[in-house]
A and B are shown apart, each in its own frame.
Chain A
Amino acid sequence: MRVPMTEYLLIDLDTERWICRVCAHDFGDARGNYKEGTLVYDRDPREIHPPVIDPEKYEFTFSPDPRFCRILEFYCPTCGTQIEAEYLPPGHPPTVDMLWDIDSLREKWEAHGGNPEEVVNYGPGENAETDLSARFDSASAHSHSHRTEGH
């Protein structure tokens, strides 16, 4: 049984592993921190948030100050999907943002009885209905580039 946990991550309850929903990359023990299976890049925030007013003339420009703020980008090592972007002070340990009780997760879904990949959606409303089954299943017959393009 596979449970979609975020836009790009699922937990396979049979193997108890964090899995990339896009390409099936294995990020590690589902009882642990999925970030340990990622590639990380320390991004200068000025590259993402460009200045609107001239940084040569002014200290405050719409761009974050890299001495205060860094953006850690977490990538899937296989498909290169950016699964998380964390804003942190320079040198601050990355946040362990999610730790799940796998036994409880299994119990809850077994009690529910449905297939999580069919049941889970984005919430109420017609336009929030979505197919959260693993993309690598439906994309297995397609090329890698198409598979990672998104839906």
Chain B
Amino acid sequence: MGKIVIDNDRCKSCYICTQTCPKKLIKKSDKTNRLGDFMVEFNDPNGECIGCAMCAKRCPDLAITEVWR
């Protein structure tokens, strides 16, 4: 059981995290952020996140600011 915190305004829509997450819990959002980009959103209804922090390590813009495990 883990969770991540995403800073929406830092996200530049490169979508590296959506392919990196081993559980595929990060998806492209329908909403846009301050930059006008379709940001990513974290959706984990079943508590599958293991807090591996691979998404945060590969985010080039540090948009994933916190990972908890």
Is the A/B pair a real complex? no
A residues near B (Cβ < 8 Å) are: none
B residues near A (Cβ < 8 Å) are: none
